[in-house]
Amino acid sequence: MGLFDNKAGIVTGAASGIGRASAIAFAKEGASTVIADLEIARAHGEEVVDQIRKAGGEATFMATDVTDVVAVKHLLNTTVSAYGRLDFAYNNAGIDVEGVTTDTNESTFDRVIAVNLKGAWMCTKYEILYMKSHGGGAIVNAASEAVGSAVVSIRKGDRVVVPTHICCGFCYNCVRGYSASCLVTNPGSAGAAYGYPGMGPYRGTQTELVRILFADANCLSLPGEPGDQWEHDFVLLADAFPTGYHATELAQVTSGDSVAIFGAGAIGLLAAYCALHLRGATEVNVVDYIPERLAKAGELGAILIDFRKGDPVAQILEQRGRFRTQAGATWGGEEVMGGVNCGIDAIGFQARDRADPTREKPDQVIHDLARLINPNGRLGIIGVFLPNDAKPVGKIEARGDLLVHWQTLFRKGITVGMGRDPNERYNTKLRDLIIAGRAKPSQIVSHRLPLSQAPAAFQKFDQRIDGYIKVILDPQG
């Protein structure tokens, strides 16, 4: 059963972009949908109709100029005549004109106002009049996406993914590959991000529409159509996939390495995925205590370490010792190399106290990895450490400090890498790996939910219950 079974409606501006995606989404939920757009867009509109019908839905194209009252009335009458009802309308038609104010003439301005303002008003007016006399309905007014006049590589209707970090693409750090430390997008600091504390005035992007700065640098073009086999994989390019990959870069994971990853959240899982399937690690141990997370790590091919069963370092050392005994010695004195070559902290300041997992112990994981990593090994810290912990567990943490076993790390000659991921450095090749079928990061996705369920999803994710590992929110769900 679909959400719009036995219902009919109109989507204006539906031959491309958001209108096209919305019409297809309505049809998938069972709605009979009228694809309304200008006559010059008929070919694209008919393509949408064909796509819907091939998927088993019902649609028809209707050439409509939303600025013409006769055309709007005809659109409503035709819809009701064809389907016997009008339950919803998505007034999405809109236009954008490239150029600056001083170069815009009066007729162009009048056309923009006629389509974007008058058109939406007129459609709404006559839709309301019909719905009021026939038991009600639902109307949504929106606007098609627009592309700024300075943007070169992106066009209206393009399918793109946008990273969490915002970069300009041309500053001293960006041109050297450090886009997470952009010097332009957050003046006076290094780095900007959507919805990230201390990284500029930008709000989060879990919304239907968002303004993207420096689109040429921040929008990664994607092939395909909404709802295709790549959709969940492409969504993860916005943050989790490149972050997980960056964790393996920080730890310098390479072919033949043994790896231990503390934390089986989305980033830890994708770090495990990248280490095993993209970077050639021979074994990856994943440490956590939540059954659903550990189960997901097992699906990826990792060795599961549940710290509720005891010291995870001891568990890994004991397990590797058994393997070494079975395999037989290959190098003299190798018993001191019983740990792992690479360690990754994918938790950060919210690491759990092993003695009481309900409490935080920010330095727990770093202490464990200092014990576990072999001499001359590598430690990658991708878990977040904030300048100020809102709920510090002690006086040291309240100052923004941590106790780290530097003497152990120094004695072993361990290389330490840490920091936010420079999305721009990785995203193109990760996208191409997805397209080629060599990468499938969406294996970690646990839920796909409509935007209306976001608050409850966040709560369950924060509480780490009901298997909420990685959630994709669908604005049109």
Instruction: Annotate 118-156 with three-state secondary structure.
Output: HHHHHHHHHHHHHHHHCCCCEEEECCCCCCCCCCCCCCC
Name the β-bridge partners of 415: 378
- pTM assigned to the model: 0.72
Q: Is the CB of residue 441 less than 8 Å from the CB of residue 241? A: yes
- Provide the token pair at 50: 């064909």
Q: Identify the three-state secondary structure at position 33.
A: strand
Name the β-bridge partners of 259: 284, 342
Instruction: Kindly state the DSSP code that residue 302 receives in the 8-state scheme.
Output: P
In this prediction, residue 330 carries a pLDDT of 66
Instruction: Kindly state the DSSP code that residue 392 receives in the 8-state scheme.
Output: -
* CB-based burial label for 332 (10 Å; 0-12, 13-18, 19+): exposed
CA 286, CA 342: separation in Å to the nearest integer? 12
**Helix pair 240-250, 423-435: axis angle to 10 deg:** 110
The beta-strand segments (E) located in 206-275 are: 220-221, 258-262
In this prediction, residue 232 carries a pLDDT of 93
Domain ranges (residues) in the chain: 8-141, 160-238+442-474, 240-422
Which CATH number is correct for 8-141, 3.40.50.720, 3.40.50.300, 1.10.10.10, 3.90.470.10?
3.40.50.720
Mean pLDDT of the chain: 90
* CB-based burial label for 103 (10 Å; 0-12, 13-18, 19+): exposed
Polymer length of the chain: 477
In this prediction, residue 352 carries a pLDDT of 86
Average pLDDT estimate for 170-174 = 94
Asked if the domains 8-141 and 240-422 are classified in one and the same CATH topology, the answer is: yes
In this prediction, residue 146 carries a pLDDT of 67
Least trusted range by pLDDT, from 123-127, 226-230, 371-375 = 226-230
Percent of the chain predicted with pLDDT > 90: 64
In this prediction, residue 329 carries a pLDDT of 62
CA 288, CA 368: separation in Å to the nearest integer? 13
Cα atoms found within 13 Å of the Cα of residue 192, Cβ hemisphere only? 20
The beta-strand segments (E) located in 325-454 are: 340-345, 352-353, 356-360, 373-381, 415-418, 447-450
pLDDT above 80 for 207:
no
In this prediction, residue 100 carries a pLDDT of 62
CATH superfamily of domain region 160-238+442-474: Medium-chain alcohol dehydrogenases, catalytic domain (3.90.180.10)
- Provide the token pair at 19: 């209108």
Q: Identify the three-state secondary structure at position 473.
A: strand
Q: Using the Cα atoms of residue 230, residue 233, residue 239 and residue 244 in order, give the sign of their dihedral.
A: negative
Q: Identify the three-state secondary structure at position 224.
A: coil
Least trusted range by pLDDT, from 129-143, 186-200, 362-376, 384-398 = 384-398
- Residue 337 — very low, low, confident or very high, per pLDDT cuts 50/70/90? confident
CA 210, CA 139: separation in Å to the nearest integer? 21
CATH superfamily of domain region 240-422: NAD(P)-binding Rossmann-like Domain (3.40.50.720)
In 3D space, the residue among 371, 329, 370, 364 whose CA is nearest the CA of residue 347 turns out to be 364
Q: Is the CB of residue 168 less than 8 Å from the CB of residue 184? A: yes
